[in-house]
Amino acid sequence: MADIPESAITERFLAGSGPGGQNVNKVATACQLRVDAYALRLPPDAWRRLKALAGSRMTADGELVILARRFRTQEANRADARQRLSELVDAALVRPEKRIKTKPSKAAKARRVDSKKARSTVKSLRGRVRGSD
């Protein structure tokens, strides 16, 4: 799990939609988590990955906004928002593996050409039969 400083996080509780019936109208249970992404002190490549992963959840001034309203209680939504934030930062810290270019061997190319020639022969024999008139 990523180590996220508390000073970078701001929480707000809003009236949420979703399950809860009349309770939803009375209690502010949805949690909006705002994180100053600059305060996370990520390396430049991880910062770029975080921006890409966050998409529209990242504001122009580098603030990451996560809205959690799946559950009926503030505590559960708060925990859910923090969990999602942690997963997002962890995913940004994972460096993708470099792809190693490969090319087919000479024998593989020869086998491919031979099979194409064989198919070509089979297909050419499917034409009309010409009789001796």
Cβ atoms of residues 42 and 60 within 8 Å: no
Q: Cα dist. 43→38, 89, 94 in Å?
A: 10, 12, 11
Q: Which amino acid is at 90?
A: D
Domain layout of the chain by residue ranges: 6-93
Global pTM value: 0.65
Instruction: Output the pLDDT for position 24.
Output: 65
What is the CATH number assigned to the segment(s) 6-93?
A: 3.30.160.20
Across the chain, mean pLDDT equals 84
Q: What is the pLDDT of residues 78-123, one digit of tens each?
A: 899 989 988 988 898 889 899 999 999 999 999 999 999 999 999 9
**Residue scoring higher pLDDT (109 or 39):** 109
Q: Which residues pair with 68 in a beta bridge?
A: 31
Share of the chain above pLDDT 70, in %: 87
